[in-house]
Amino acid sequence: GDSVTQMEGPVTLSEEAFLTINCTYTATGYPSLFWYVQYPGEGLQLLLKATKADDKGSNKGFEATYRKETTSFHLEKGSVQVSDSAVYFCALSRDTGNQFYFGTGTSLTVIP
């Protein structure tokens, strides 16, 4: 079945460090891929998405490229800020329905 695997956390970085959170997926067909972010006490917010192979999603300095050959959608940011501290979820959705499959989440803490 469809599934998403993302790197275990927690991740702790210093401000302005480079961030990579790995995400790989298993799915039949051509899923759409997403990164969601959850700040403390809040629901999830869409960070970025990509709908087909080689698409690059980007938002707020975060980027992720849909790599079909490696079934991956790694999240990157060149210079993290304290305000980026949150839990990040990788997710997929297939075009046959509105069901999302989420990874287990990666907690990021950025220290000044």
Partner 1 sequence: KAGVTQTPRYLIKTRGQQVTLSCSPISGHRSVSWYQQTPGQGLQFLFEYFSETQRNKGNFPGRFSGRQFSNSRSEMNVSTLELGDSALYLCASSVWTSGDFPYEQYFGPGTRLTVT
Instruction: Tell me which residues touch partner 1 (CB under 8 A).
Output: 32, 34, 36, 41-46, 49, 51, 89, 93, 95, 97-105
To the nearest whole angstrom, how small is the minimum distance from the Cβ of residue 70 to partner 1?
21
Q: Which is nearer to partner 1, 85 or 101 (CB)?
A: 101
- DSSP string computed for 7-51: ----EEEETT--EEE-EEEE-SS--EEEEEEE-TTS-EEEEEEE-
Q: Which is nearer to partner 1, 42 or 69 (CB)?
A: 42
Q: Does residue 106 contact residue 20 with C-beta atoms inside 8 Å?
A: no
To the nearest whole angstrom, how small is the minimum distance from the Cβ of residue 21 to partner 1?
14
Q: Does residue 36 contact residue 46 with C-beta atoms inside 8 Å?
A: yes
Beta pairing, strands 86-93 & 106-111: antiparallel
CA 60 to chain centre: 13
To the nearest whole angstrom, how small is the minimum distance from the Cβ of residue 18 to partner 1?
25
To the nearest whole angstrom, how small is the minimum distance from the Cβ of residue 16 to partner 1?
29
Q: Which is nearer to partner 1, 84 or 89 (CB)?
A: 89
